[in-house]
Amino acid sequence: MVLEKINSPKDVKSLNIDEMNILAQEIRNAILNRVNTVGGHLGPDLGIVEATIALHYVFNSPEDKIIFDVSHQCYPHKILTGRKRGFLDPLNNYDISGYSNPKESEHDHFVIGHTSTSVSLATGLAKARDLNGEKSNIVAIIGDGSLSGGEAFEGFNNAAVLNSNIIIIVNDNEMSIAQNQGGLYKNLETLRKTNGKSENNVFTALGFEYRYVDDGNNVEDLINAFKQVKDTDRPTVVHIHTLKGKGYKPAEENKEAYHWQLPGFLDKKISGGSCEDYFSITTDYILNKHDKKLIAISPATPGATGLSTEFRAALGKNYTDVGIAEGHAVAYASGLATGSAKPVLFVLSSFLQRAYDQLSQDLALNNSPATILVGWGGISGADMTHLQTFDIPLISNIPNIVYLAPTCKEEYLRMLDWSIEQDKFPVAIRVPSNELISTGIEDKTDYSVLNKYKIEEQGEKVAIIGLGSFFPLAKEVKNELKKSGINATLINPRFITGIDRKVLDGLKANHKVVVTLEDGILDGGFGEKIARYFGSSDIKVLNFGGDKEFTDRIPVEKLYEKYRLTKEQIADDIKKLL
Amino acid sequence: MVLEKINSPKDVKSLNIDEMNILAQEIRNAILNRVNTVGGHLGPDLGIVEATIALHYVFNSPEDKIIFDVSHQCYPHKILTGRKRGFLDPLNNYDISGYSNPKESEHDHFVIGHTSTSVSLATGLAKARDLNGEKSNIVAIIGDGSLSGGEAFEGFNNAAVLNSNIIIIVNDNEMSIAQNQGGLYKNLETLRKTNGKSENNVFTALGFEYRYVDDGNNVEDLINAFKQVKDTDRPTVVHIHTLKGKGYKPAEENKEAYHWQLPGFLDKKISGGSCEDYFSITTDYILNKHDKKLIAISPATPGATGLSTEFRAALGKNYTDVGIAEGHAVAYASGLATGSAKPVLFVLSSFLQRAYDQLSQDLALNNSPATILVGWGGISGADMTHLQTFDIPLISNIPNIVYLAPTCKEEYLRMLDWSIEQDKFPVAIRVPSNELISTGIEDKTDYSVLNKYKIEEQGEKVAIIGLGSFFPLAKEVKNELKKSGINATLINPRFITGIDRKVLDGLKANHKVVVTLEDGILDGGFGEKIARYFGSSDIKVLNFGGDKEFTDRIPVEKLYEKYRLTKEQIADDIKKLL
């Protein structure tokens, strides 16, 4: 076993090509082993094994600095830089994260998890090197769909005029998470077809030196190419053509499904999951509507929001994958709405962060009646790069946008239908992150009457306002308080972006404490607005939610306990105030 | 006078070339007249006069839809679409805004003021047209520096695969607000030098049809080019080479200074202003430091943040203008800080909105010790597209970032120096938007002890927390309360991003009301955090600041009155609670 002897990049340097090819296979096995144990990115990492070996053979990490975009392709890099135990030993799998992290290794330079950032970060590192009068190679590796994000282009634009060493490896595996989208990817295709010879070359047009490696899974070819560009004094692109999922047949054949996998995937067939959930009822709704003006939009994450290949095929020209480009997606939706189409954008809470200014300027300022479905919002045990706890402060402090928080299937569908059919407001809906709840009672609310909270159960002394996916928790707290003889009022606010003065003022007569529960950070969120509203009154307010912090793979139960979000803790805190 | 007869675009269609050239001169005079009366963009509009005439001659607005990027170049368009009174008659100048607005005219399709959005919005409009089965030309006009923003590239990338009519006019005036930056602009230069013939062409690489017009101020050439692309069924770029400031010599010769002008500029020489202000003391500080690791960064707005041409020249390689690319600017700063340089990013509150995810992921998650100077923050009479009231919610709800609010020169310089020299925190400083205040007392605070508020004057019953540029207002309120015999405590919090529990808890003993004053919207801001903190106590909290709304050119005094921000209103509200 070659991998046995590899404890740092310098051990790679003594290998010959045959040993490197054996090592590649061993790394693939290690990746499969890890993903089967803890889940994670699969196809992207299988595809970049040889390139990573070649990088560490040619360059001298950590003096030479290698920055992986998204860093979901850094598994082989981790294996070669002293962290193979996180891939070989199930007991250690959880010690090592799925993304780069300087706290894990001197060979990592940034915590990275969002896309399209590597070139900008690397340009800063390269400029710092030059200011410090140092010499080293700065290598950014970008691809797998990340090229379409605006920050990547901004980075390319400025890296091109750095007038110094920066090497950008464009890992062209012909894919994003799903199919690649956009003119840039057509250019990559042209370059592949001409073996890198086409004059039509976006990289040389921007001012880069350019090299092409057609077999990006051939370690010898890669080593030759990397040697030629090492220590260059010019901004340089090395375009390598790799096979996503390489070496594991199911992943080669079904690239989208094997982009990321759940634990245990080796032992079972991949199934789309047939249970009803909030996204499946959304796609059912859209398909049943047969509305030629309705258009579904995904920023390259269709799978994560339940947009199956069948759904996309059925919609045809009424579906656009804009690539990883959330900013454009929001502006595109605004343009569509202005043109009397009915855009529905499917996006994850964490990734919508890339579109703040577009939400504000392109959408809200124009009052464009687009619908944005915000998925996965809430406190979770996710990696610190993929937290979904910031969308309430992000969206709800922008004027004009109506941000809705449904608590069940019936409310959700009513809100969705209202949003799509109305023409006055930009609407975002926080798709509940908990399991689908159906009350069986049709919701007939007119959501065009904004900021109307629903009193679900009238009580006294204590009012619990449970927002969206935390409404079930509010119910539990109410039941908990019952044990102490407290009959609390239960409120479903439904609107995140406004205050229902009538309902809140009505509480003053026979309530002493108002409690808010929200599934996200408290800072800048929903509860603070309630606290402000009651600030000058005699009502006491308790806000429950997450802290403003980046948590990293902490089990959600632990976070709930830390934030005092168990029903018992909440009830205790309330009782102390009575 | 030709302009006399022009009341809508159809009147342009009956003109001959000679009349159009006369019209161009009359439009220039009208622009000069308006800017001299109310201020506004000058060079960009003088440069695009002929192109606008040619567009309205060839295309049929409003069926054909013309979308101006930033829309600071839409003055000639406004003059030709029934709004010339806003340029000819001083009494009407204020009725017409300096940006596009559908409420003003059916020939405007969006409210636009931020850069790099036009292609994305236009792509949405074009797709809606196709879904609706309509026929029309969708024309986006972008240039004057806006090409470098990531959203522009995302838009180009998707417009390229629209497989339908979209025409993008790239207005290449060789400038941004200052000099253009980046590889893309080198490519435009190559294309100019080869009369559009170079094979090295970023637009054709992305998949666009491409045409070049070398004299973009020749109305006949423009008409010919536009006629050739009208009704095309392919995504098309028309690259026109224009002269920024055309027809007004000072603006042709000093393009940066005349990008935007103040009222009365025709009668006086442009001067940089010699008064000391917060930006001038910043540049003095940097120059006096002679630190080779220190690097100043501007996202194409050096003039707005006091970075004079002399300052930039003096810094040399220690200054980077990244072009309009705030996202990249933040990531670049993070990379620089990680590489042990000392980056200082100068950015306006409104434009920093484009960098939310980079602030969160590239900067805060990595705890990169960069310094961000946030300029112009506060309630103002600005256009609705350029409000600077959202930066507190934007920045202060992101973990790890230390956001500071100095109240005087001495505090500001101490904070700046601490931020640049420390290596633990990403720091943003809200450069006060009011006039420079000097207390003459050296600030010796150690700002590495986070979230320590300063009790400036100890009183009782009422505590007034005046944040940053509203600290002087807090003082005035204190004096106002004195008239009623109330000796209020006066607090300068200095830290926007944290709570000083010790100081706040200390208030509980002999205070009944805590008042917060902040120069921005209340939603998601500083005061709400204080309200939350005191929510379960007997302290009453009153938060003062702006409403969550887009205001449009409302004089600041009126806004203050509306938001109850005069010292008398605040004192009244406080007294009601006592």
Per-residue model confidence as pLDDT tens for chain A (578 residues): 999 999 999 999 999 999 999 999 999 999 999 999 999 999 999 999 999 999 999 999 999 999 999 999 999 999 999 999 999 988 788 889 999 999 999 999 999 999 999 999 999 999 999 999 999 999 999 998 899 999 999 999 999 999 999 999 999 998 877 777 789 999 999 999 999 999 999 999 999 999 999 999 999 999 999 999 999 999 999 999 999 999 999 999 999 999 999 999 998 765 555 689 999 999 999 999 999 999 999 999 999 999 999 999 999 999 999 999 999 999 999 999 999 999 999 999 999 999 999 999 999 999 999 999 999 999 999 999 999 999 999 999 999 999 999 999 999 999 999 999 999 999 999 999 999 999 999 999 999 999 999 999 999 999 999 999 999 999 999 999 999 999 999 999 999 999 999 999 999 999 999 999 999 999 999 999 999 999 999 999 999 999 999 999 999 999 999 999 999 999 999 999 99
* Contact check, Cβ <8 Å, B366/A318: no
Is B201 near chain A, with CB under 8 Å?
yes
The answer to whether the beta carbons of residues B206 and A183 sit under 8 Å apart is yes
Residue ranges of A 307-336 with Cβ closer than 8 A to chain B: 317-318, 320, 322-323, 325, 327-328, 331-336
| H helical segments located in B397-512 | 409-421, 471-482, 501-507
Is A36 near chain B, with CB under 8 Å?
no
Is A395 near chain B, with CB under 8 Å?
no
CA distance A157 to chain B (A): 5
Residues of chain B contacting residue A332, judged by C-beta atoms under 8 Å apart: 120-121, 123-124, 127, 155, 158
Q: CB-based contacts of B123: which residues, under 8 Å, 6+ apart?
A: A328, A332, A335, B155, B158, B159, B162, B166
CA distance A573 to chain B (A): 10
Instruction: Kindly indicate the confidence band of residue B270, based on its pLDDT and cuts at 50, 70 and 90.
Output: low
CATH class in words for A454-577 = alpha beta
By Cβ distance, the residue of B157, B293, B361 closest to A148 is B157
Please count the other Cβ atoms lying within 10 Å of the Cβ belonging to residue B10: 11
Residue ranges of A 240-269 with Cβ closer than 8 A to chain B: none
Has residue B271 got a pLDDT over 60?
no
Q: Examine the predicted complex and report whether its ipTM is higher than 0.90.
A: yes
Residues of chain B contacting residue A108, judged by C-beta atoms under 8 Å apart: none
Cα–Cα dist B494/B472, whole Å: 13
By Cβ distance, the residue of A151, A157, A541 closest to B331 is A151
* Contact check, Cβ <8 Å, A157/B540: no
The answer to whether the beta carbons of residues A355 and A363 sit under 8 Å apart is no
By Cβ distance, the residue of B183, B204, B549 closest to A200 is B204
The pLDDT of residue A272 is 52
Instruction: Kindly indicate the confidence band of residue B418, based on its pLDDT and cuts at 50, 70 and 90.
Output: very high
| H helical segments located in A446-509 | 471-482, 501-507
Q: What is the mean pLDDT of chain B?
A: 96
The answer to whether the beta carbons of residues A455 and A490 sit under 8 Å apart is yes
The answer to whether the beta carbons of residues A389 and A379 sit under 8 Å apart is yes
Taking residues B382-393, what's their average pLDDT? 97
Residues of chain A contacting residue B536, judged by C-beta atoms under 8 Å apart: 540-542, 577
* Contact check, Cβ <8 Å, A327/B150: yes
Is A293 near chain B, with CB under 8 Å?
yes
pLDDT tens digits, residue range B105-158?
999 999 999 999 999 999 999 999 999 999 999 999 999 889 999 999 999 999
Domains A3-258 and A278-430 agree in fold? yes
Per-residue tokens: B337: 């800080």
* Contact check, Cβ <8 Å, A393/B117: no
Residue ranges of B 166-185 with Cβ closer than 8 A to chain A: 181-184
Rounded-to-10 torsion of CA A357, A359, A361, A362 = 120
Please count the other Cβ atoms lying within 10 Å of the Cβ belonging to residue A548: 22
**What does the buried/exposed string (b/e) look like for A47-66 if buried means 16 or more CB atoms within 10 Å of the residue's CB?**
bbbbbbbbbbbbbebbebbb
Residue at A297: amino acid letter: I
The pLDDT of residue B176 is 74
CA distance B73 to chain A (A): 18
Which CATH number is A278-430's, of 3.40.50.2000, 1.20.140.10, 3.90.1520.10, 3.40.50.970? Answer: 3.40.50.970
* Contact check, Cβ <8 Å, B323/A201: no
Is A8 near chain B, with CB under 8 Å?
no
Cα–Cα dist A20/A151, whole Å: 34
Is B451 near chain A, with CB under 8 Å?
no
The pLDDT of residue B180 is 76
Query: Counting Cβ atoms within 10 Å, is residue B439 exposed (0-12), middle (13-18) or buried (19+)?
Result: exposed
Has residue B416 got a pLDDT over 90?
yes
The pLDDT of residue A270 is 54
Superfamily of B3-258 according to CATH: Thiamin diphosphate (ThDP)-binding fold, Pyr/PP domains (3.40.50.970)
The pLDDT of residue B17 is 98
Cα–Cα dist A430/A175, whole Å: 29
CA distance A530 to chain B (A): 9
Query: Counting Cβ atoms within 10 Å, is residue A544 exposed (0-12), middle (13-18) or buried (19+)?
Result: buried
CA distance A577 to chain B (A): 7
CA distance A119 to chain B (A): 9
Does the pTM of the predicted model rise above 0.90? yes
Cα–Cα dist A220/B525, whole Å: 56
Sorted by where each begins, the domain ranges of chain A are 3-258, 278-430, 454-577
The answer to whether the beta carbons of residues A168 and B183 sit under 8 Å apart is no
pLDDT tens digits, residue range B422-475?
999 999 999 999 999 999 999 999 999 999 999 999 999 999 999 999 999 999
Cα–Cα dist A10/B488, whole Å: 67
Q: CB-based contacts of A380: which residues, under 8 Å, 6+ apart?
A: A387, A388, A389, A433, A556
* Contact check, Cβ <8 Å, A117/B525: no
By Cβ distance, the residue of B235, B364, B535 closest to A540 is B535
Beta strands in B134-251, from DSSP E residues, in sequence order: 138-143, 166-172, 209-213, 235-241
By Cβ distance, the residue of A356, A385, A390 closest to B353 is A356
C-alpha separations of A331 from A21, A364, A376 in Å: 46, 10, 22
Instruction: Kindly indicate the confidence band of residue B94, based on its pLDDT and cuts at 50, 70 and 90.
Output: confident
Q: CB-based contacts of B257: which residues, under 8 Å, 6+ apart?
A: B270, B303
Nearest 5°: the CA angle A459, A460, A462 is: 105
The pLDDT of residue B132 is 96
Cα–Cα dist B211/A304, whole Å: 41
pLDDT tens digits, residue range B33-78?
999 999 999 999 999 999 999 999 999 999 999 999 999 999 999 9
Cα–Cα dist B141/B49, whole Å: 13
Residue of chain B whose Cα is closest to the Cα of A540 = B536
Residue ranges of A 72-131 with Cβ closer than 8 A to chain B: 102, 109-114, 117, 120-131
Q: CB-based contacts of B181: which residues, under 8 Å, 6+ apart?
A: A157, A158, A161, B148, B300, B321, B322, B323
